[in-house]
Amino acid sequence: MHHLIKKKTYVGYTSDLHERLKLHNSNKGAKSTKGHEWKLIYKKRFTTKSNAMSYEYKLKHDRNKRLIIYNKHLWV
């Protein structure tokens, strides 16, 4: 997800993407997402929770990859 005004990204695992985005945009999600309007720009599906959480960890710690994803999907 990315913030619609600031160049801010959020990475997170969920089993219900639409509900997660709805929570973030209603100020009921993670602390870091409150007070912002978010738009989904990238999603990836995994067959196991373990694989999803492993990818989430890597993406959270790789700012360059996040920036590439952000820039690639900014105008989609």
Whether pTM > 0.85 for this model: the answer is no
Count the neighbouring beta carbons within 10 Å of the beta carbon of residue 61.
10
Name the token pair of 66.
């996040």
pLDDT digits (tens, 9 = 90+) for 12-69: 889 999 998 888 888 876 777 777 788 888 999 999 999 999 999 999 999 899 888 8
Q: What is the DSSP string of 43-76?
A: ----SSHHHHHHHHHHHHT-HHHHHHHHHHHTT-
